[in-house]
Every structure is written in structure tokens, then in C-alpha cells.
A and B are shown apart, each in its own frame.
Chain A
Amino acid sequence: MTAEFWITQTFNGLSYGALLFLLASGLSLIFGVMRIVNLAHGSYFLLGGYVGLSVIWRTGSYVAALLTGALAIALVGIAMERLFLRRLAGQTLGQVLLTIGFALIFQDVALLLWGGDPYSLPIPGPLQGVLTVGTLRFPRYRLFIMGLAVVIGAALWLALDRTRAGAMIRAAVDDAEMAQGVGIRVPTVSLAVFALGAFLAALGGVIGGGFLGVYPGLDLEILPYAFVVVIVGGLGSLPGAMVGSLLVGLLDNFGKALFPELAYFTLFAPMALILALRPTGLFGR
């Protein structure tokens, strides 16, 4: 185990964590405001990747792929929330079954439209290749992901902490009923947060397409990671999602590198430990 191994693995873990942050921050906010366990969240990630793939095939533009993928899936999220989830407010089990129903439909639709072959999303030229520091090699694309996650994380934090809309979201997370009582339109806030969550997940899907690939089954494969992040960090907490993502990214990466057969154990055992000590997660209340 050289220092090089540790630095490279830490880098890989942090960059995977950055991707997870995009997926999990939205899930956490959705949970915080609406108390919904959204099992279709992984599907947004996958569908975002597929839409981005189609756009980049047609136009060749990576930026267009990012924006179109994220916006298209945000619309899907809006439709889902408006037409279906809203009717089931407060029914945890009903919501779970509804979102898994959608997850299955999305899975099949993706298979129908894009087939069963795995794809890799083409990375634009400037982001290809590696950055060499001494003997260490850092893929540029992963650096880009980390940078983007930092920017998005900062923007989310500023928006939540410093703007009126952010204050409304925080109020709805803390106590939806009271927020409604003081004149905040909680249903509108919910819809906006749900759309934002779908947007971020799909954005993560397009970006992730560049190094995880886009393939059938990715949706249900990535979903548990998002859940672990949210559970570890605390539901509805943005700092929790940040710390949780990095922690899960690192644990997953070192687990896979050091104990390949027990990789999932190294991810879930610490989660179980955190739960045992702090049932609401590190930053939850």
C-alpha cells in the first residue's frame, strides 16, 4: 500500500462522492419537504443519462446534453408530483408503491427506447485525458465533476440560506403545517423542490454517463447509494448530503479496492453504526 494508492483511491472516492451529491441532495430535499421515499429517483438519473446521450448524438454538444437531460427529467418529475404523488400526501406506503411503479415503467420505457446495450456518453475534448502531477495521474473528467459539484453545492447552499425561496423551503422542511399557516404555499414549494431534485438527479445522470456509463439496471444500482447518503447525512439536510456523499464515495471506493468481496458491507456497516448511534443521521434533527 503506497502513498500513491491512498491518494489515487481518495481522489476516486471523492469524485464518486461528488457525483452522488448531485443525486442525493435532491432526494434529501424532497424527503425533507414532502416526507416521500422516492424510489424513482434512480430512474431520473438513468433517464437523464439516456436523454443526454440522445442529445449529444444529435447535436454533438455536451452542454446541450446536460441542460436538455436535466430539464426534460425535471418536467417528468413535475408531472409525477402534480398528477400522482400529490393525491397521496401523508400515505407513506402508497407513495412508495407509486414511485416503484414509476421506476418499473421508466425502466421498461428506457429499454424500449434505448435498447439493452450499455453506452458511454462521449466526453468533450477539453475534459478528456489526465492531469499528471509527479507520478500521480488524475483524470480531468473527474476533476470537472468535483468542480461542478462544488459549484452546485455552493449555489444550493446560498439559495437555501440567503434567498427568500430558500427560507420558504427551510420552513417547509422544519414544519410544513406551520409554514402553510404563516402563508407559505407549501404545495408550490413541494413541486419546486421535487422538480429541482429530478433536475439534479438527471444532471448527475448525464455527467455520470461519462464515467459510469448508461445501461439498464443503473437506476436500481445507484438508488441505494443515494439512500445511504441521505440516511447517513440526515434527511432534509444539505450539509448532511454533502458530508454523506463524500463519506459514501470514499467508503465505497476503499471497500471495493481493499475488500472486493465484501464491498457492500464496508459501505453499509458504517451506515448501520451511525444509525445505531444517531438514528436521525449525522446532521438530522
Chain B
Amino acid sequence: MTPVSLRPLLLRAGLAPVGTIVVAGVLVLVAPTLSAYPLTLLTQAAIVAILAMSLDVLLGYTGLPSLGHAAYFGVAAYAVGILATDYQRGFVTCLVAGLLAATLFAAVFGLLAIRASGTYFLMITLALGMVVWGLAFRWVSMTKGDNGIAGVPRPDLPLPWSLSSPLPFFYFALAAALLAWTLLALLVRSPFGLTLMGIRESESRMRALGYNVWLHKYLAFVIAGAFAGFAGVFWAYYNGFVSPVDVQLVTSVETLLMVALGGPGTLAGPALGAAVIVFLKNFVSVYTKRWLLILGAVYIGVILFAPRGVLGAFRRGPR
């Protein structure tokens, strides 16, 4: 790595954790004073933030815009949904199964997707995402098709508080988001993460330097899939319901929007983007049925007026 790209990185490494920890601390303190509705929105935001951060590993750090990221999120959610309802398995089994399912799908799909780059990568990830959607929609004996899997119970953990009430579950989701953020922050600042950024900036140069570019991209793809699965596990528990909506193209694109809105190449940005979209979506849908129209306008507005995202730390747009 050249020293030029290291300096802003160190600067960010120093500042970003402080900001995130302060925000998390404020949330922990404020949460008990909130009523159920804002708490559920915050819970939703925390879980979706994990998904957005996981996509950012691909989009922001490696420069790979995936159009099928909801697939890994949804596969894990389905694994939890099926195991927790039909087989009445506990949290640990469901968590492990969800993570494994998402990782496995990402490992197989990654073999196909990483061969391509640029626009081809977009189209292939889109098509692979549709495979999962097709399974969710059609494989009725397994997934209950369009009806979805209802009645996923909240996890029953040996804790003094029941996770079925909003406040403990919010803390639970927040802890998960902080764990994901910590692990991902360590990942992107590790030599592995720096190599990913090198690949984002110039694949040919990294190859010339002797890095195994394919392997790094592939591992980034699998890791991003695994973290999306982590988010999916909590989503299934939060929603109590898993359906093809969780794996559809619109969900994947919405995640891209969150990353683009927050600023790719920062972890806090996509998390913030996730929160903005979750709140916007819920507030607007209270006041008007024309929610899609407004979301569409948000997409166009973000692209035309804030192409580098709110945090805008990403200097060059991914190709």
C-alpha cells in the first residue's frame, strides 16, 4: 500500500469507532424512555444496518456492486424460520444453521460471480439472487411459497429479560449490530481489508504486486454473504415472519441504496443509511399510500444530488 492512501485511512480508523460508540451509548441510555413503536423501528434499523455494512464490504471496500445481496440475508432467515417453527430448534442451532446456509450459498454463488467484473457482476448477482427468490416462491413444500413462514418465536435465552418485549430485543439486536460492526471494522483495517481496497483501486496493480486477486475477492464475497446471513437470522426473529419479500430484488437494491446513501467505503455510513431508509419508509407509509413513488424519488435524488453518499468518504465511485 502506498503511504498516500494510508493517511486518511488511519484518520478514519481513529475517528469512526468513537462516533459509533457514542451513538451506541446514547441509544442504550435513551432506549428505556422510548415507546414500543420507535423501539421496533430502531431494532429494525440495527438489523438492517448489519446487512448494509455487509454489502459495503463488497461494494465500498472491494468495488463489487452486488445486486443479489438479499439472497444470503433471506437464506439465513428461511433457515431460522423453518428450524424454529417446524423443528422447534433453539437460538444457537438456528444461528449456526442460518450462518452456515448463507455462507454456503455465498461460497457457491461466489464461484460463478467472481469470474465477472463491472456490469457483468451486477447482472450475474442479480440472476443468482433470482434463483433464491425462485426457490422461496416456488418450493412451496419447503418455504410455504408466497404465504411465507409465520409464527417464528422470539429466541428463548437464559436471560433475566424475555426477548419478546421490545426493549430487551432492541438491546439484543443492538448488541448483534455492534458485534458485526466490530468484526467488520477489524476486517477492513486488517492487511486483508487493505488488500481489498487495493483491488478496488487497481486490480491489475495488485495482481502485478503478487496478490491473489481472485481469492481476495472470493473471500470478501463469502464473508459479506455470511454477515448478511447474520442479519437475516435476527431479521427472522424480529419479524416473526419470513417470506419471498426478504429475498426479492427490491430488497437487494434497497440495501444498495442504503450503502450509496450513507457513503460506500465507511461502515458507519451504510449503517446510518440503513437507519434513514428504515425510518423514512415507516414514516412516509403512515402518511401516504404512495410510498413507492417517494422511495423512487429518493433513489433518483440520492444519485443526482449526493452521488458520494452522506458521509462521502469514498473518493472514487466503484466501477
Contact = CB atoms under 8 A, between A and B. Distances in A.
Contacts of A223: 249
Interface string B169-213: 000000000000000000000000000000000000000000000
B128 to A, nearest CB: 7
Given A91-B307, A104-B293, A262-B138, A97 B119 contact: no
For chain B, the bracket of interface size reads 35 or more
A154 to B, nearest CB: 27
Given A265-B134, A268-B130, A268-B131, A93 B123 contact: no
A24 to B, nearest CB: 12
Interface residues of A, number: 48
Contacts of B138: 260-264
A32 to B, nearest CB: 11
A88 interface: yes
B96 interface: no
Contacts of B67: 37, 96
A94 B293 CA distance: 18
Nearest to B108: A272
Nearest to B111: A276
A82 to B, nearest CB: 14
B250 interface: yes
Contacts of B118: 35, 92
Given A105-B292, A227-B126, A261-B141, A94 B307 contact: yes
Interface in B273-319: 290-293, 295-300, 302-304, 307, 317-319
Contacts of A220: 248-250
A264 B127 contact: no
A92 B119 contact: yes
Contacts of B120: 235, 279-280
Interface in A209-240: 220, 223-224, 227-228, 230-231, 235
A105 B261 CA distance: 19
A195 B59 CA distance: 31
Contacts of A91: 307, 317
Given A93-B256, A261-B139, A102 B296 contact: yes
A53 to B, nearest CB: 21
B303 A231 contact: no
B28 interface: no
Interface of A: 31, 35, 37, 39, 84, 87-88, 91-94, 96-98, 100-105, 107-109, 111-112, 220, 223-224, 227-228, 230-231, 235, 260-265, 267-269, 271-272, 275-276, 279-280
